[in-house]
Amino acid sequence: MLTTEQPDLNTDQLWDIASSNTLSEISDIQPLLVAQLQSLQSVRSRFESLNEETKSLRSMVAELEEKSNSFGSRAKEMFRLQRDVQIKRQLYDELIERYEMAQLTGSLGLFEQNKRVKIIDLPYTPSTPSNLPIIVFIIAGLFAGIGLGIGMATLTELFDTSIRRVDQLETLTKAPVITVIPKVSPTRSN
C-alpha cells in the first residue's frame, strides 16, 4: 500500500468519497481508510480552530494597540494630576499652619496688649516753633534769584560769539572795514 502512488485528491473530493457509499467506482485507485478520514477531520477541525484563534488574537492585538496608544496621554494626565494634588496638599498644609499661627497671635495679642507699646519719653507741647520765620525764606529767595540772574547773564555774555562792533571785526580779520550797512527802521504805512 505504501508503494502505490497516491491520487491527487483535495479534501472536498475526499469528503464526497467518504459520504457516498459508492466505493466501487474508485476501488481501482485505492480504498480509503476510516483512520485517514478521522485524521483528516481532526486536522481540518484543528485548522478551523486555529483560524478562529488567529482572528480573535488579531482583534485583541488591535485593542491592545489602541490602549497602548492612549496610554501616553493618560500617563501624562496622571502625572499632571498627581503634581496638582501634591501642590494643593502643600498649600492646604501651609494655610492650616497660618490659621493656627493667627489664632495663637490673636490670643497672645489680647494677653500682651499692654506690653506692645512702650513709652520712652512723655509727649510735651513745644515752647517755640521749630521752623524759621517766613521772612527769612523770602529774603533768601530774593538773594538767590538775584545771584542766579547775574550768573546766567555773565555766562551768556562770556559764551556769546556774535560780532557787534566795527573794531571787533577789524581785530578778528586784521583788515580795515570799508563800509557799514546802516540800520533801517521799518516804516509805518497809514
Give the percent of the chain with pLDDT over 70.
74
pTM, rounded to two decimals? 0.29
Please indicate whether residue 33 or residue 161 has the higher confidence score (pLDDT): 161
pLDDT tens column, 91-113: 999 999 988 888 777 766 666 66
Scored b (16 or more CB within 10 A) or e, 162-173 reads eeeeeeeeeeee
Half-sphere exposure of 124 (CA within 13 A, CB side): 6
Please indicate whether residue 158 or residue 8 has the higher confidence score (pLDDT): 158
- Residue 42: what pLDDT? 84
Range of 92-106, 113-127, 139-153 with top mean pLDDT: 139-153
d(CA 63, CA 69): 10
Exposed, middle or buried: residue 37 (CB in 10 Å: 0-12, 13-18, 19+)? middle
pLDDT tens column, 4-45: 565 666 666 666 666 664 444 444 445 556 667 777 788 888
The model's confidence at residue 187, banded by pLDDT at 50, 70 and 90, is: confident
- Residue 21: what pLDDT? 47
> Residue 145 corresponds to which cell in the numbers above?
534769584
Q: How many residues does the chain have?
A: 190
